Chains A and B, each alone.
Chain A
Amino acid sequence: MASTDQDISLSASETLAHARRVDAQRKTRARWILLSPALILIGLFGLMPLSITLVYSFLKPGSFGGVEWVFSLDAYIQFIAQRDIFDDTLSINWSYLSIFSRSIGLSLGATIGALILGFPTAYFIASKPADQRNFWLFLITLPFWTNLLIRTYAMLLIIRDQGVINTGLMSLGITEAPIEILYTDTAVFIGLIYSYLPFMVLPLYASLEKLDLRLIEAAYDLYASRFRVLTNVILPLAKPGIVAGCILVFIPGLGAYITPELLGGGKKLMIGNLIAIQFGSSRNWPFGSAAALILMAVVMVALLLYVRHSAKEGHSHG
């Protein structure tokens, strides 16, 4: 009797295990079917162009654009060094490195500027009653209704010598001559902040909105002044939003094209413009590809360093 019971329960458990296996297989298949459109899109328009770029960066430029299928490291060498025309010796070429460092500097500056402007804005929205927040968020997203190119032209009109700012300052007698903003780094800097500020405000808002106001009260109750409530409670808790906002401003800022092209006047290049020129007038596709990959590598290394740092920090907490 006992043995039969065992047999039955054994076969029952086998049936159950089989049913579970079939069910798991079905779920896996469904998952892949649902994922496939996204995967095809990423493969076709993400990975393939990237692979082409990678291959091109190791080739020689064709005389009229395109590439010659000859392996070469020239594109990467060209980025940091120049070859003497007479004796083929290499010396460091600062022109591209300075464009690269200007890009990083401007993008970093714009990120910090956007954070300083965006944080109070996001906090203001998050502290509004829930039914009014959507209105303010709507205002933040309003610029997206107009193309960035057109908005950048509008900025050009505002900051140029005969623009609103300068005529205003001069008519008030604050300055005699127009302040030269357009076609300087300052113009690019202002343009970058303007273009990417919403990308800072939105993630900041998302993390500040979740902030428990009672924590602020608790800190205030425990002898923290307003400033120390900010530095000891609000900022640490808003850190995920700050990091997300900074990444969303810094990375597109680094590769910005329209803003430096129009407001920098083609004189103050950023790396995005350099890459564009290589595929256009300079007809050096391998060099353009190499510059793009170097930019990507720098961004990836920076992000990896951050992830490792925060993982370590999280570990020491736990």
Chain B
Amino acid sequence: MPVTQNMNQLEPTVLAKSDADEVPAISVQGLVKTFGHGSNQITALDDVSIDIQQNEFFTLLGPSGCGKTTLLRLIAGFELPDSGTVLLHGEGIEHLPPHMRPVNTVFQSYALFPHISVADNIGFGLRMLGWNKAKIANVVEKMLDMVRLSDLANRQPDQLSGGQQQRVALARALAPAPRVLLLDEPLAALDLKLRKEMQIELKRLQDQTGITFVFVTHDQEEALTMSDRIAVMSAGRVLQVGQPKEIYDAPEHRFVADFIGDINVLPGQVKHRQNGKLVVVIAGGSEVHLPDDGIQSDSLFVAVRPEKATLAKSGTGVLSGVVNNIVFFGSGTNIHVSLSDGVDFVVQTQGSETGLSLGDGVSVNFADSAAKILRN
């Protein structure tokens, strides 16, 4: 078991940066996983390939049923792929059972062992690895300190709050210093305030330990806040992989654009293509000039983020319409404009004073660079 021996080192710095640039921490290639038989067969993963770099905070983002948890379970070893490979630091592990993989999981339900103390929960993995008691006690103490639960070492899990249980689950999974930590919607059960705290806590732990985190969530805001890179998944496929900013600013796919943040999607027709530029006619006959990314189809969708658009006096902008709703949300106001073809277009403004009232005729303006072409 060459793989299982290396993980006993606790010092996070052993993962040298130079090494990180060469071999991905996790590389899945052509993973296919189906459940059920015959007409009940469901394809959970449909030819998924992803490289996750070392020391990276990598997020699998998508709605429930998109296959993100299945992918995590394939990496952990709870499921076996129908085809495809899982490489951990370049070594194939898809044939190994979970207890032979130097990868640990933080479960959505925490799954703390109810019959043993907090300290024993954290030391569980090390006991199974056959460490001696003194070394285990040492690491457990460090872990308790790291998640700030030193006072509660001798409590039973059911005597802890949800947030504390979550931190124990984290410490338990980090104690054996796994090569990769898998987190399956670990914050979903926490209330909003606690969730925000834990997001920061998780980020801190990842920096501190230098362990690669693979984080599964359906919460796009959480994904944008925490991740180094995000893979957006839908229906068993990976649609786009990129840094949060890329995913947000340049969604390639209509699903990605819709799923991440608010966005206005307008149907458009290509009028002509020239010099690497597309001239697209959108609602109301307005033209936008967009870079030609080689899209074949003539009918496409153009997306504009609400905060990239501005309102102007009627008759002076790209699009025109009528204000049909004004929604104040604290740091700003969303103004819903009903366009001439009936499509709703949202413009986000700062502050609460807009000087507009329902039924006002307005124009919507945005720069060509704010508009993105989406694939359907």
Asked if A pairs with B, the answer is yes
Given contacts A222-B176, A225-B128, A237-B115, 14 further A-B contacts (CB under 8 A): A217-B78, A220-B98, A221-B77, A221-B78, A221-B104, A222-B124, A222-B173, A223-B4, A224-B124, A224-B128, A225-B99, A228-B128, A233-B113, A237-B114
Contact A215 B111 (CB under 8 A): yes
Nearest B residue (CB) for A217: B78
A contact residues around B4 at 8 Å (CB): 223
Contact B105 A218 (CB under 8 A): yes
- Is residue B156 contacting chain A, with contact meaning CB distance below 8 A? yes
Contact digits for B241-256, partner A, Cβ 8 Å, 1 yes 0 no: 0000000000000000
Nearest A residue (CB) for B130: A223
Q: Say whether, besides A218-B111, A219-B124, A317 and B156 are in contact (CB < 8 Å).
A: yes
B contact residues around A233 at 8 Å (CB): 113
- Is residue B125 contacting chain A, with contact meaning CB distance below 8 A? yes
Contact B111 A214 (CB under 8 A): yes
Contact digits for B81-113, partner A, Cβ 8 Å, 1 yes 0 no: 000000000000000011100011101010111
- Is residue B117 contacting chain A, with contact meaning CB distance below 8 A? yes
Residue in A212, A222, A224 whose CB lies within 8 Å of B104: A222
B contact residues around A225 at 8 Å (CB): 99, 128
Residue in A212, A221, A317 whose CB lies within 8 Å of B99: A221
Residue in A217, A317, A318 whose CB lies within 8 Å of B107: A217
Q: Complex formed: what's the CA distance from A224 to B113 in Å?
A: 13
How many residue pairs between the two chains, A and B, have CB atoms under 8 Å in the bound complex?
64
- Is residue B372 contacting chain A, with contact meaning CB distance below 8 A? no
B329 to chain A, nearest CB (A): 38
- Is residue A236 contacting chain B, with contact meaning CB distance below 8 A? yes
Contact B176 A223 (CB under 8 A): yes
Q: Complex formed: what's the CA distance from A222 to B78 in Å?
A: 12
B111 to chain A, nearest CB (A): 4
A314 to chain B, nearest CB (A): 10
B71 to chain A, nearest CB (A): 16
B contact residues around A222 at 8 Å (CB): 99, 104, 124-125, 128, 172-173, 176
- Is residue B358 contacting chain A, with contact meaning CB distance below 8 A? no
A contact residues around B125 at 8 Å (CB): 222-223
Main secondary structure of the interface of A (DSSP, over half): helix
Tally of chain A residues near chain B (CB < 8 A): 19
Contact A217 B98 (CB under 8 A): yes
A contact residues around B115 at 8 Å (CB): 236-237
- Is residue B76 contacting chain A, with contact meaning CB distance below 8 A? yes
Contact A215 B113 (CB under 8 A): yes
- Is residue B129 contacting chain A, with contact meaning CB distance below 8 A? yes
A215 to chain B, nearest CB (A): 5
Q: Complex formed: what's the CA distance from A318 to B157 in Å?
A: 11
Contact digits for A235-267, partner B, Cβ 8 Å, 1 yes 0 no: 011000000000000000000000000000000
Contact B128 A223 (CB under 8 A): yes
B contact residues around A228 at 8 Å (CB): 128
Nearest A residue (CB) for B117: A317
Nearest B residue (CB) for A229: B99
Contact B111 A217 (CB under 8 A): yes
A234 to chain B, nearest CB (A): 11
Q: Complex formed: what's the CA distance from A11 to B99 in Å?
A: 69
Q: Complex formed: what's the CA distance from A208 to B77 in Å?
A: 24
Q: Complex formed: what's the CA distance from A54 to B193 in Å?
A: 66
Contact A218 B99 (CB under 8 A): no
B341 to chain A, nearest CB (A): 50
B contact residues around A237 at 8 Å (CB): 114-115
A97 to chain B, nearest CB (A): 39
Contact A214 B156 (CB under 8 A): no
A contact residues around B173 at 8 Å (CB): 221-222
B370 to chain A, nearest CB (A): 45
B contact residues around A232 at 8 Å (CB): 124, 128
B contact residues around A224 at 8 Å (CB): 99, 124, 128
Q: Complex formed: what's the CA distance from A237 to B129 in Å?
A: 22
A contact residues around B128 at 8 Å (CB): 219, 222-225, 228, 232
Q: Complex formed: what's the CA distance from A221 to B116 in Å?
A: 17
Q: Complex formed: what's the CA distance from A317 to B154 in Å?
A: 8
Q: Complex formed: what's the CA distance from A228 to B113 in Å?
A: 14
Contact digits for A192-226, partner B, Cβ 8 Å, 1 yes 0 no: 00000000000000000000101101111111110
Q: Complex formed: what's the CA distance from A307 to B212 in Å?
A: 48
B105 to chain A, nearest CB (A): 5
Q: Complex formed: what's the CA distance from A33 to B156 in Å?
A: 40
Q: Say whether, besides A214-B107, A214-B109, A221 and B117 are in contact (CB < 8 Å).
A: no
B232 to chain A, nearest CB (A): 26
Q: Complex formed: what's the CA distance from A218 to B170 in Å?
A: 12
A42 to chain B, nearest CB (A): 35
CB within 8 Å of B: which of A130-169?
none
Give 6 CB contacts A-B under 8 Å.
A217-B98, A217-B111, A221-B76, A221-B105, A223-B176, A318-B156
